[in-house]
Amino acid sequence: MIDLLLSNPVACAYALVGFALFGLTLQPGLARRYHINLPIIYIALGALATLLGFPYISPLSSELQAQIITHSSELIVIISLTAAGLAIDLKAGWQRWHATWRLLGIAMPLTILALVFLGSWTGLGLAGALLLGAVLAPTDPVLARSVQVGGPGQSEDPTRIALTSEAGLNDGLAFPFVWAAIALSLGTFDWVDFLAYDVLYRVGAGMAIGWGVGWLITRILFSKFGDAKNERSSPLIVMLAATLIAYGLAEFVHAYGFLSVFIAARSGRKHSPDPEMRSADEPAYAREAHESADQFEGIMMVILLLWFGTFVAAELWTQWRWSDLIIALGLILIVRPVVGLLALIGLDCSFKEQFKMAFFGIRGMGTIFYIAYAQTHGAFEDIDAVWRIAGLCILLSVLLHESLAGWLFNRSRLAIPAGERSTSETHPV
């Protein structure tokens, strides 16, 4: 049987991806009664395929394979960031997104420091330890679908808003630390360049470009020539166009494209005819664009999770050490919850809500992108160890967070009608 499968691996790969994609269509119906951890199933299927002898791509094997992983994960992250930006109805602001700013400004830097310490303890050099902290500190917008807001016009609660907005912003805000690790690995780190260029210029330019692209495309979109005024025929194309324009322009001027695409989506929501997008007769275009982004993201997620399973089974599984497990469990069960709760002290919400915001720091595709990116731009002697530790963190995060999300989040979501007015207006974060 195995020989028969391996006689045509390309055909088998098509069928495997097809079955995996079809599984996505069953999730909403199954979620009404059961919570099925689809990401871990896809990882297991990828691992099984490798154990049966299917070929796989390893970022540690060659520059080309590392580039393939870099750009594949890059694409899914930017689409996911657009979806996250479109999903949130609540306008940004210091009081409304108070929990978000705390998680970004306090929890993320403390997580990086803790992981630098743990990485150094396990034998990583300073550059490798900083890279480990930078890639594992941000939460993931792709695999956090189960704890994020549902989309434009759907019910929202402060916890989901905080986790969605945090995931939308922290990928871009982690990039300065990734570049610091790259500079350290090359022996070119300079504090002035880091603060002036990597932090101030690249963050500021990325946000400015995103805001401008979102404003301009929305003005055109809702003009008499735009797609929103002509039968709403191409929300997927518009979503992809806006994402790629924002990302491409930002990267062209060496700004942070991850920030740019999220800010572009938020700018588009703000400058649409109904900025709050809460009225019963709101334009359907925002919902259609979000659904398009969500579906495209789901397709890419399936493919990359299958790949991750192959990578785990082929290489990482035999390399893991007890110290890796200590770091992974320490990050998921101690570091993120503790620094998250510290960041949220005094927030006007219950301890249960604070704990959910602190605990559900899911790791995933953003981490994969950052490691592959740093590998192709730096000179890390211990990059294999970074892959090894981060891979175990991602696997355990998918296993624990995705399984617990169904218990702590999805029950309450199913109890609220999808079209109900957002509760975030009366309970601002």
Summarised one tens digit per residue, pLDDT across range 91-136 is: 877 788 889 999 999 999 999 999 999 999 999 999 999 999 999 9
- The residues near 161 (Cβ < 8 Å, ≥ 6 apart) are 88, 90, 97, 99, 100, 149, 424, 429
Question: Rg for the chain (alpha carbons), in Å?
Answer: 21
pLDDT digits (tens, 9 = 90+) for 248-284: 999 999 999 999 999 999 998 887 775 444 444 345 7
Quick check: 378 and 128 in contact, CB under 8 A? no
Is the pTM here over 0.75, yes or no?
Answer: yes
CATH of the domain at 280: 1.20.1530.20
List for the chain the helix, strand, coil content (%; round to 5). 70, 0, 30
Q: How far apart are CA 276 and CA 7, in angstroms?
A: 55
Helix (H) or strand (E) holding 371: helix 365-377
Give residue 146's pLDDT: 72
Helices (H), 32-187: 38-51, 63-87, 98-102, 108-121, 126-136, 158-173, 175-186
What is the mean predicted confidence (pLDDT) over 156-172? 86
- The residues near 398 (Cβ < 8 Å, ≥ 6 apart) are 37, 39, 40, 43, 143, 362, 364
pLDDT band at residue 416 under the 50/70/90 scheme: very low
What is the mean predicted confidence (pLDDT) over 392-413? 78
Give residue 278's pLDDT: 42
Task: Please determine, for residue 392, whether its predicted confidence score (pLDDT) is greater than 60.
Answer: yes
Q: How far apart are CA 307 and CA 72, in angstroms?
A: 11
pLDDT digits (tens, 9 = 90+) for 201-254: 999 999 999 999 999 998 888 887 877 777 667 888 888 999 999 999 999 999
Quickly count: other Cβ atoms within 10 Å of residue 425's Cβ. 14
Q: How far apart are CA 259 and CA 256, in angstroms?
A: 6
Share of the chain above pLDDT 90, in %: 50
The token pair at 280 is 């019963």
Secondary structure E strands in 304-399: none
Number of domains in the chain: 1
Give residue 429's pLDDT: 35
Q: Say which residue, 12 or 114, is predicted with more confidence.
A: 114
Structural domain harbouring 35:
2-425
Q: How far apart are CA 197 and CA 191, in angstroms?
A: 10
